[in-house]
Structure 1
Amino acid sequence: MEAAIRSRNISALKSAQQAIKPNHSQQDVDIRTETDMVMRKVAASFVTDKVADAELHQFFNFVIECSENELCGKIVPVSVLQDILDVSSVERCEQLFSLVEDHIPTWKSPFFFEQCRNHVLRLCNDLLKRLSRTVDTAFCGRILVFLARCLPLTEKSGLNLVSQFNVDNSTRYEQEQTDQSLLTDNNDIEMEEGEMKDSNIPVDYALYCKFWQLQTFFSSPTTCYDKIGWKKFQHNANEVFSALASYKLEEGSGRKRHLDASISEPAGKSMKMDTSADNESATAIKLMANREQRRSLQTEKTRDSYFAKYLTSQKLLQLQLNDSEFRRYFLVQCIILFQYLQTDVKFKDKKVHSLADEQTRWIEDMAEKCYKLLRETHPDGARFAQAVKHIMDREKHWSEWKNQGCPDFTSMTDKEKMQMFKKRPKQRYDPNKIDLGNPELTKLWNIEPDTLASCRANPRRFIPRLEDFLVDPLDEMDPEQQVDEEYRSTNNEVFQWRAMRLLSMTSSQFFTPTNRDANLTKMTTFLESLIQRTAATIP
């Protein structure tokens, strides 16, 4: 049987199992148990022999295939992985964890899920216990992401149903004041003429204590509802925010500026030291070394940083407050706390865990200050603040889902199968009808394809006939009608404009020279004379 397993031959394994139970006297369960033990033994030998990763992947796929064919137990693949990872170093486990990640569809399949769910969870928890969150941060993140992808949202092991806090995560800071000269002593840096020193935040022992005391409220937010705790939290937060707002970080400050200084300093020194023609080769060698140093420092500058826990020394706080990443971590902590204090949580005691109107207004103002400081913190401050705002808005939905008892999303899906859509009837093409994509345009076009002829059609003739237009003004000028001059149409400016335009196009008397008379300079007199002369020419 062991030879069949090592050769990864399923047919040979079946034959070996049949040979073990002559006349079917031995039960199948005992045979599968023996097969499980042999598989785990072979897997352990692979680790001892330090076989290649490709061979391990092939062997693991073989174990899964055997389990699917019921030649071994369903939990054997997880047990094999557990044995391999238990006897491997942390560095080796990080490489072999791809065996677990690549088979997420296998763990989620109905055949393996119920049997292997707890074993996979135990495997990941055992790995997390071996890892350091400060050293192996990336590997811990991979494991947690795997669990989030593999297990459903309603998995009880991943839910904090009663909203408990990790109060054991305490932050220790120095209880005795360090010499003040050590806190403000800066290394003397050679500066060029006209260059100013950077403005650092003045950090005394009082600000140091107030800053790190806030971590107590971050780890246990319910202490903010206590009257004494609230006053302490409010006072410390106001002091820290005043210091941060008074000393804003400029673009290119913090870690980036120090790296830039370290990049440029060696090159400058080498240029000053090697100026003679006799040392050209030495200068070239040093320039190449400085260039390599710049590249390494540039790589260091652009590399992601992981700080699960910051040091709390008094000497470091001034440098930390001038670091953009440190500021961002602190401000995001404040935003999370402010949102929790205002969020309606199911397990909060409404009688005790409630805020007054004044406290709510203060929290809203401080949250707005947090976002403002995040936008002013380079690099990409506005983009980072917008991302944090979006994440916190989404967190409200998850909090509401948790208050509702974490209902399963799959139960909300439609149980009935979706009906197939009916095909639309094909529209027959009419070559005599033009479709412009808009009903009104299509209607207008199909009335008359010739636009000019359509404009000349009788329904679009809006210019009146000259004979009809002159009837009313001629009646008003008739003495028998007794129409006062001020009420005549010829005194209306709109009528004057229309009459002059029509007569200029249709009357030959419009351009006929007349005797110059002072009375004809008036528009009313000229128009009445023109109408009378035009009417006389009409038969």
Structure 2
Amino acid sequence: MLDAAIDLASRNLTDPETPFNMFQDAITSLSFPEVSRLFAMIEARAKRISRLSNFQGSAKFDVLRTLVEFLRRCSRVSDTAVCGRALTLLATMFPLSEKSAVNLRGHYNLSNITTFADHEDASGSAVADFKLYTKFWGLQKYLSRAYDVEDYAVWEKVYESMQQIMEAFEGTPVASTREADGNEEKRAVKFLTDPQLFRLQLGDGFFRRHILVQFLILLRHLRIVQKPEEAFDSSKSHTESAVNRRVLSLLDSIGPSGKTFGTGMTRAFYWEKHWIAWKANGCKPFDRAPVPFEASEQRRKRKPIGSDVGKPKKASKILSSHEDDDNGKPWALPSEEERKEDLKSWQNSAPTVELIQSQLTDDKDEEDPSLKRKNMKP
């Protein structure tokens, strides 16, 4: 049905909105496993859908609105694969320079709020270092609001917490980590903030890697806004570069692929630097305009073979009236009478049929005797 709707819409035999209405109805009514199969169908037909006449108008916003509503229904923990398919579909159908998907102002996701215990529970077992626990989870507020850290007083507080957390990471050995199998299903997680789990979480490489990546994102933001050097401590160990090196060193120590992961993060931030510069310059399109196709009537037509037979040859170079030839005499185009005389002389010099037949007869008489013997019958 979807193929039929696309074909009819491309031929203007039905309402152009029909394929998009079918897609919207299917997204809102199907279950998640069925939607995953639907995405596979849409991905295979994405180019055909994007070529429809009304896709660049209101239809693309209908597709965008439908997929955004679908993402709100999905769970970021258990439906990670389906969410990824939806985002990939948007990236396939929309051009890279589409401003509705580039986050021009660089807004952060402020809806993800982390709650944790702000006082010790007297009835439970005491946490080894509750002060470090509160600083650790309290830092999430600033990591999700990087603009607040631009203030010098806030940065001092954040810097102190980051230093204590990295010292705790360095003093806690990383538990043996198992590299994820390529066929293993990966899920996004939201870590628990129970105080009783804090000491175990410090030794978890998967948990530690997430926190250190958050540190790198914050430091990258401070480099982008070009925070003045006086905002950091004058000591060399307190500079942003030193903190960045320390974070990367901790990432390298996590698991057998730690160095590969750290190198990948550095490369990703390098690409993001150019991505931000592209947005700052107004999101200029990457696709170049196609070269205009030359009209058929303006094409140079090929002459049929033999069309020049019997016609006088054209001069290889046409001189203007004010140019001179090699003898220093002014050159002019031949008159009509001179052209007729040239044509008549060429026709008179052309061989006739009788002359060609006589030449063939003479050639036959002068044939090699050895060839005659070979052609004789025994």
Q: Shift in Å at residue 128 of structure 1?
A: 0.9
Give the equivalent residue in structure 1 for 2:263: 386
Change (3 A) 1:117 1:302: closer
Change (3 A) 1:182 1:379: farther
Match of 1:127 among 60, 64, 70: 70
The aligned counterpart of 1:176 is: 119
User: Is 2:220 the partner of 1:343?
Assistant: no
Give the whole-Å Cα distance in 2 for the aligned partners of 1:158 and 1:112.
Answer: 20
Distance in structure 2 (CA, Å) of the matches to 1:341 and 1:406: 23
* Corresponding residue to 1:405 among 279, 282, 288: 282
Aligned pairs for 1:471-482 within 5 A: none
- How much has 1:119 moved relative to structure 2? 1.7
Which AA in structure 2 matches 1:318? R
Alpha-carbon displacement from aligned partner over 1:156-178 (angstroms, at most 9, x marks no partner): 22122222223332211111213
Give the structure 2 partner of residue 51 of structure 1. Answer: none
SS in 2 for 1:409: coil
Counterparts of residues 120-199 of structure 1 (less than 5 Å): 120-178=63-121, 182=125
Letter in 2 for 1:69: R
2:10 aligned residue: 68
Task: Give the corresponding residue for 2:296.
Answer: none
Q: Which deviations, in whole Å up to 9, do the C-alpha atoms of 1:72-121 show, x marking residues without a partner? A: 11121110121122222223222322222221112322635314211211
Superposed CA deviations along residues 409-453 of structure 1, whole A, max 9, x for unmatched, are 225x68578xxxxxxxxxxxxxxxxxxxxxxxxxxxxxxxxxxxx
Aligned-partner residue type, residue 369 of structure 1: R
Map 1:279-428; keep pairs closer than 5 Å: 303-344=184-225, 354-356=228-230, 358-359=232-233, 362-411=239-288
2:184 & 2:122 partners in 1: Cα distance? 35
Contact 1:108 1:150 in 2 (8 A): yes
Aligned pair in 2 of structure 1 residues 99, 238: CA closer, same or farther (>3 Å)?
same
Letter in 2 for 1:212: W
CA–CA separation in structure 2 for the residues paired with 1:73 and 1:95: 25
- 1:222-281 deviation per Cα after TM superposition (whole angstroms, max 9, x unaligned): 1112233112101111100111122242xxx3454xxxxxxxxxxxxxxxxxxxxxxxxx
2:212 maps to a residue whose letter is: L
Query: Is the 1:210–1:236 Cα contact (8 Å) retained in structure 2?
Result: yes
Cα distance in 2 for partners of 1:373, 1:416 equals: 55
Matches within 5 A, 1:162-241: 162-178=105-121, 182=125, 203-241=128-166
Aligned CA distance change for structure 1 residues 342 and 127 (closer, same or farther; 3 Å): same
Aligned mates of 1:146, 1:310 — CA distance in 2: 29
Contact 1:172-1:312 at 8 Å conserved across structures: yes
| Amino acid in structure 2 at the alignment position of 1:236 | S
SS of aligned partner of 1:167: coil
Quick one: percent identity of the two aligned structures? 28
Separation in structure 2 between the aligned mates of residue 96 and residue 221 of structure 1, nearest angstrom:
38
Would the aligned equivalents of 1:180 and 1:204 in 2 still touch at CA under 8 Å? no
Instruction: Provide the C-alpha distance between the structure 2 equivalents of 1:181 and 1:85, rounded to a whole number of angstroms.
Output: 47
1:86 to 7, 22, 28: 28
| Partners of 1:107 and 1:301 in 2: CA distance | 32
1:131–1:118 Cα change, 3 Å? same
- Give how far 1:299 is off: 9.1
- The amino acid across from 2:224 in the alignment is T
Unaligned stretches of 5+ residues in structure 2: 294-378
Equivalent of 2:53, from 99, 103, 111? 111
CA contact (8 A) 1:63 1:77 kept: yes
Structure 1 residues 494-522: Cα deviation after superposition (integer angstroms, max 9, x where no partner): xxxxxxxxxxxxxxxxxxxxxxxxxxxxx
Deviation at 1:319, TM superposition (A): 1.8
Q: Is the alpha carbon distance of 1:324 and 1:302 closer, same or farther for their aligned partners in structure 2, counting shifts above 3 Å?
A: farther
- 1:242 alignment partner in structure 2: 167
Compare relative contact order (CA 8 Å, sep 6+) and give the higher one, 1 or 2.
Answer: 2
Counterpart of 2:284, as a letter, is P
Structure 1 unaligned spans of 5+:
1-58, 185-202, 257-297, 346-352, 418-539
Aligned to 1:479: none
1:262-273 aligned at under 5 Å gives the runs none
Residue 382 to residue 180, structure 1, CA distance change in 2 (3 Å): farther
Question: How many correspondences in the alignment?
Answer: 289
RMSD, matched Cα: 2.7
Residues in 2 aligned to 1:415 and 1:357: alpha-carbon distance in whole angstroms: 52
- Give, as a single letter, the amino acid of the residue that structure 2 aligns with 1:392: F
Q: Which has the higher helix share?
A: 1
Deviation readout 1:284-342 (Å, 9 max, x if unpaired): xxxxxxxxxxxxxx999973542342111111222222111111111111111101101
Structure with max Cα Rg: 1
For residues 205 and 343 of structure 1, what CA distance do their matches in structure 2 show?
Answer: 34
Please tell me whether the aligned partners of residues 78 and 188 of structure 2 are also in contact (alpha carbons under 8 angstroms): no
Contact 1:221 1:337 (8 Å CA) reproduced: yes
Contact 1:107 1:117 in 2 (8 A): no
- How many angstroms does 1:183 deviate by? 5.5
Are the counterparts in 2 of residues 254 and 322 from structure 1 also a CA contact under 8 Å? no
Q: Per the alignment, in what secondary structure is the counterpart of residue 155 of structure 2?
A: helix
Output the amino acid matched with 1:230: W
- Report the TM-score, using the length of structure 2 for normalisation: 0.70
Q: Deviations over 1:131-160 (max 9, x none)?
A: 111221111111112111211122222122
Distance in 1 between residues matched to 2:23 and 2:170, nearest whole Å? 52
Structure 1 residues 322 and 92, CA, compared in 2 at 3 Å: closer, same or farther? same
Give the counterpart of 1:100 among 20, 42, 49: 42
CA distance in 2, matches of 1:314, 1:65: 60
